[in-house]
Structure 1
Amino acid sequence: MGILSNRVEKEELKGGDHIYTYRAVFAYSHHGIFVGGNKVVHFTPKREENSSTEAPLITFDGMSDTAFSCPTYPDCGFRQPNSGVVLTCLDCFLRNGSLYSFDYEVSPSIFLTRVRGGTCTTAASDPPQTVIHRAMYLLQNGFGNYDVFQNNCEDFALYCKTGLLTVDRLGVGRSGQASTVIGAPLAALLSTPLKLLMPSPVGVATVTAGMYCMSRYATDIGVRTDVIKVAVEDLAVNLGWLNSDEEELEKNKASGEQLVKL
């Protein structure tokens, strides 16, 4: 891997790696966690029961547009009912696309050279066994509702690798792709008044590019302050996936644990 490309070969993969591949002629990338055994756990829009179709195409997922059947692995495509977390083989995940590895704990200077979001983060990764545990736990328990800007496939992989969640649910999620989509128009908008002060198109373009890069950097989970570390077993409570009865049970359980400690 280098500054210009994160492309890797299948033989280089190790369990717990965050991988991705591009879809729709590089329009977006789809992310997942390689768990070993030629298998990948990744997040897509939920497939409702009694429905043969997935969610709309405008997503950062890799399986919403076509149904598939794997000729090699009988368990390929496994998911729990009404869950968006799916287990597939590596080939079905890639769908003839190239394989890339997401970088962790990169320096700010390297991060800023990656013009396109969704390729790296300044945050550190947890140990591989922890990453795989989170991915397999979420395969059984789900990862909530898919949302392009706040809870997509890249958000899933980033959580599996770091255990970090954003506190502010109204803002942009952890996804570098989402920050790219939002950051580019925002940078262009903010730089528009500078056209009056900078007659040179090159100067305006340089300022716009700088604003774009800084907006991406500001939303990276390695530098933002609105993130917390959450154990995968506590994820449902933190994201409000439980119904009211289950929430009350969890609260009572937590209160009991506090009383025991006292």
Structure 2
Amino acid sequence: MGLLSNRVQRESLKPGDHIYSWRTAYIYAHHGIYVGDDKVIHFTRRGQEVGTGTVLDVLLISSGPARSHQPCSTCAPPEEGSGVMSSCLNCFLSGGVLYRFEYSVTPALFLAKARGGTCTLAVSDPDDVVVHRAKYLLENGFGCYNVFKNNCEDFAIYCKTGLLVVEQGTIGQSGQAVSIIGGPLAAVLSTPLRLVTTNLYGMAATAVAVYCASRYAADIGMRRDVVKMSAEDMTRRLATGLLQVVEPQISATPARGSPLLLTQ
């Protein structure tokens, strides 16, 4: 695994892998689940969506295949009104380089990464479960696209772990969304140091520390505001509007970083 990304060859892929490809000069990456037979299931802005109302919306254009890239004849047309679609690997990459998202990484390796959206501390479920979730959501949808709360990386992480952030007003599972927010936040929090010191190295070290801490605390493998939920239950709650208002019921207090188990 590299310190920036984990580039892999096509021959090494197996069904259930979470893969991604950088877009727009490494500003944003598009994520999906490889399901075998040269097919990738991924979540795009097609269908209902929620924008940010900021300049970040411009970056979302790069979250899908390039405009100049014409889908091949083997790619199935997307479901009407759903952002989840199936594409061949070439169409998914859209001329980009193939990378594999890593799970169960060590805290040291996680913090050594230059940016989010490439790995997580969380544990992946078995490959057959991952493929089942992706295929089920292809047929039933994954809600409305939102750059901070429900993007392509959120979709892929959910397929791999079954974990969802259910509290309103919080960021989703996406590591690259945390990076987008964490950078400016670190700069703002380090600014008061100018009142007591002119040491640029000290301010830079503080900004890096704040950035790393925000990424670590927001990682899906460390968060407490998550539940483990089946794809069937998740889509049922989406259809009834109960996904983000239901209170998780638990039998015991989980350990730090453990997901809440939602009961029926």
User: For the superposition of Structure 1 and Structure 2, which TM-score range results when normalised by the shorter chain?
Assistant: 0.7 to 0.9
Q: CA 1:60 to 1:227, structure 2 compared with 1: closer, same or farther past 3 Å?
A: farther
User: 3-state DSSP class of the match of 1:88?
Assistant: strand
Deviation at 1:96, TM superposition (A): 1.1
Secondary structure, counterpart of 1:158 in structure 2: helix
Is 2:108 the counterpart of 1:116?
Answer: no
Q: Equivalent residue for 2:59?
A: 58
TM-score by length of 2: 0.83
The answer to whether residue 229 in structure 2 is matched with residue 230 in structure 1 is yes
Q: From the superposition, tell whether residues 60 and 125 of structure 1 become closer, same or farther in structure 2 (CA, over 3 Å).
A: farther
Instruction: Give 3-state SS (helix, strand or coil) of 1:204's partner.
Output: helix
The CA deviation at 1:71 is 3.5
Q: Deviations over 1:179-209 (max 9, x none)?
A: 0111111111111111222321011001101
> Aligned partners of 2:181 and 2:62: how far apart in 1?
18
Task: Using the aligned pairs only, state the percent identity.
Answer: 51
Q: 1:10 to 1:125 in 2, by over 3 A?
A: same
**CA radius of gyration, larger in:** 1
Tell me, in whole angstroms, the C-alpha distance in 2 between the residues paired with 1:102 and 1:140.
Answer: 24
Name the CA shift for 1:192/1:92 in 2 (closer, same or farther; >3 Å).
same
Q: In 2 relative to 1, CA 87–61 (structure 1 residues): closer, same or farther, beyond 3 Å?
A: farther
Q: How large is the RMSD of aligned CA atoms in angstroms?
A: 1.9
Aligned residues: 234
Counterpart position of 1:184: 183
Letter of the structure 2 residue corresponding to residue 2 of structure 1 = G
Alignment partner, residue 12 of structure 1 = 12
Q: Take 2:241 and 2:188, find their aligned partners in 1: how far apart are those partners?
A: 41
1:15 deviates by 0.4
CA 1:4/1:117 → structure 2, altered by over 3 Å: closer, same or farther? Answer: closer
1:241 is matched by which residue type in structure 2?
A: A
Name which of structure 1's ranges 129-138 and 228-237 shifts more when overlaid on structure 2. Answer: 228-237
Whole-Å separation in 2 of the counterparts to 1:133 and 1:207: 43
Structure 1 runs (4+) greater than 6 angstroms displaced: none
Give the Cα–Cα distance (whole angstroms) in 1 for the partners of residues 40 and 201 of structure 2: 44
Once the two structures are superposed, the pairs formed by residues 214-225 of structure 1 within 5 Å of their partners are 214-225=213-224
Choose which of 239, 242, 260 in structure 1 pairs with 2:240.
Answer: 242
Output one character per residue of 1:217-243: Cα deviation in whole Å (capped at 9) or x when no partner: 1100000100110000001244x3336
Residue 104 (str. 1) matches residue 109 (str. 2):
no
Return the alpha-carbon distance in structure 1 between the equivalents of residues 116 and 61 of structure 2. Answer: 13
1:171, CA displacement in angstroms? 0.8
- Aligned counterparts of 1:121 and 1:160: Cα–Cα separation in 2: 14
Alpha-carbon spacing, 1:179–1:217, altered in 2? closer, same or farther (3 Å): same
Task: Give, in whole Å, the separation in 2 of the partners of 1:46 and 1:242.
Answer: 21
Cα pair distance change 1:60/1:194, threshold 3 Å: farther
- Distance (whole Å) between structure 2 residues aligned to residue 177 and residue 110 of structure 1: 16
Please list, as runs of the form range in 1=range in 2, the aligned pairs for 1:3-42 lying within 5 A after superposition.
Answer: 3-42=3-42
Aligned position for 2:250: none
CA distance in 2, matches of 1:232, 1:117: 25
Give the conservation status (yes or no) of the 8 Å contact 1:33–1:40: yes
CA deviations over 1:67-113 (Å, ceiling 9, x no partner): 7543451xx14321100001000001111111000010111111100
User: Which residue of structure 2 lines up, in the alignment, with residue 43 of structure 1?
Assistant: 43
In the alignment, is the contact (CA less than 8 A) between 2:162 and 2:228 conserved in 1?
yes
For residue 191 of structure 1, what is the amino acid of its counterpart?
S
Instruction: Give the structure-1-normalised TM-score.
Output: 0.84
Q: Partners of 1:143 and 1:61 in 2: how far apart?
A: 19
* Aligned-partner SS, 1:221: coil
> Which residue identity lines up with residue 10 of structure 2 in the other structure?
K
Letter in 1 for 2:227: I
Aligned equivalents of 1:93, 1:71: Cα separation in 2:
11
1:174·1:221 contact (CA, 8 Å) conserved in 2?
yes
Partner of residue 254, structure 2: none
One-letter amino acid of the counterpart of residue 62, structure 1: S
CA contact (8 A) 2:30 2:64 kept: no
- 1:24 offset after TM fit, Å? 1.1
2:10 and 2:115 mapped to 1: Cα distance? 23
Q: Does 1:85 align with 2:84?
A: yes
